[in-house]
Structure 1
């Protein structure tokens, strides 16, 4: 029988799983402790409080998302495909971790109108990663000003995909449709002659 993970990892796993499927505010600390099979003292020793635990669980999830997305970008062959790799990364990410009802970061942000500074910074880091990477990838296709506009358009489409998943759409269907719409946004900036996407 495999040894049990350390208490810190069990707490992070429990917090991430429950935040993804049940929500933060509707999940009492006792439920997290029971899932992780640890005492309150262990949680407070490692994370200070529930928000500290949620913050660290989000940081770990963001690092995993960053890795998965970068892998999909690296696998893509053209600048257009690299920009649209966001959608294949979303599909792969959701298969590799606890599936969430939509986006754990958006869910926590919606449930936490007055987050502490560490949590606020972590939520902002997700948005910063999305914005800066898309803008950087878009600059291989269009001028800087247009790159920012194109990145914003793709973020809007991506957020719509997450919303459709929350409404019950199949992940693969929603991400494929999002990619097709984003490809149209790329074509609107680059012109049909420069895009090689179907």
Structure 2
């Protein structure tokens, strides 16, 4: 990162450092000094851009949310079959992990566990991630002709969250089993097309 200090704006360096450290070590376990050192930035720069660690955490999750959404959008754009569109959340997860070099579970689930206070500025991005997941799957379930879209979404979210938990526990690739469970749920809810 030192070579980038002259060309990369300080705000981006701080976000990149926060992304690496908060995801790898956890938010609570990562002090501001570690982020500043990795970014090659001063405390004054951090406070000028983010007003402190809470603001930096919120910006880190916002940035991650936009990257995750863009990845899912791209995968969804290539899926035409209703079943494939519902399974796109798992396909996007595989692609996102590969693009990001992610080795742990979900940054949003980890943040939700570490930041229980409802008034923490990062909670808005934890909620945005949850809303995206539920609303998009609901739209896809409706479009698929599911007999009970809400029940199908609830089951798919459990499969998705379970997949992320398996990653966090270091399980070998949980996606094949997750896809089979998701396909079973989709079949039971009478989705149009072959599962």
TM-score for both structures, normalised by structure 1 = 0.91
Alpha-carbon distance, 1:116 to partner: 3.1
Q: Which position in structure 1 is the counterpart of 2:26?
A: 23
Aligned to 1:57: 60
Provide the residue aligned with 2:119 in structure 1.
116
Q: For the Cα contact (< 8 Å) 2:71–2:96, is it kept in 1?
A: yes
TM-score normalised per structure 2 = 0.92
Q: Choose the corresponding residue for 2:73, options 62, 70, 73.
A: 70
**What is the distance in 1 between the residues matched to 2:189 and 2:108?**
29
Q: Are 2:104 and 2:168, in contact at CA under 8 Å, matched by a contact in 1? A: yes
Deviation at 1:118, TM superposition (A): 2.6
1:42-81 Cα offsets, whole Å, 9 max, x none, are 0000000101001011111101111100111111120110
Contact 1:68 1:92 in 2 (8 A): yes
* Residue of structure 2 equivalent to 1:8: 11
The 1-side partners of 2:45 and 2:61 are apart by: 19
Structure 1 position 92 matched with structure 2 position 95? yes
User: Offset at 1:4?
Assistant: 3.3
In the aligned structure 2, how far is the partner of 1:190 from the partner of 1:42?
Answer: 55
Aligned length: 192
Residues in 1 aligned to 2:89 and 2:13: alpha-carbon distance in whole angstroms = 29
Contact 2:103 2:167 in 1 (8 A): no
Alignment-derived partner of residue 103 in structure 1 = 106
Q: State the Cα RMSD in Å.
A: 1.7
Q: 2:36 aligns to what?
A: 33
Out of 117, 133, 136, the residue aligned to residue 133 of structure 1 is 136
The runs of at least 4 consecutive aligned structure 1 residues that moved more than 3 Å come to 1-4
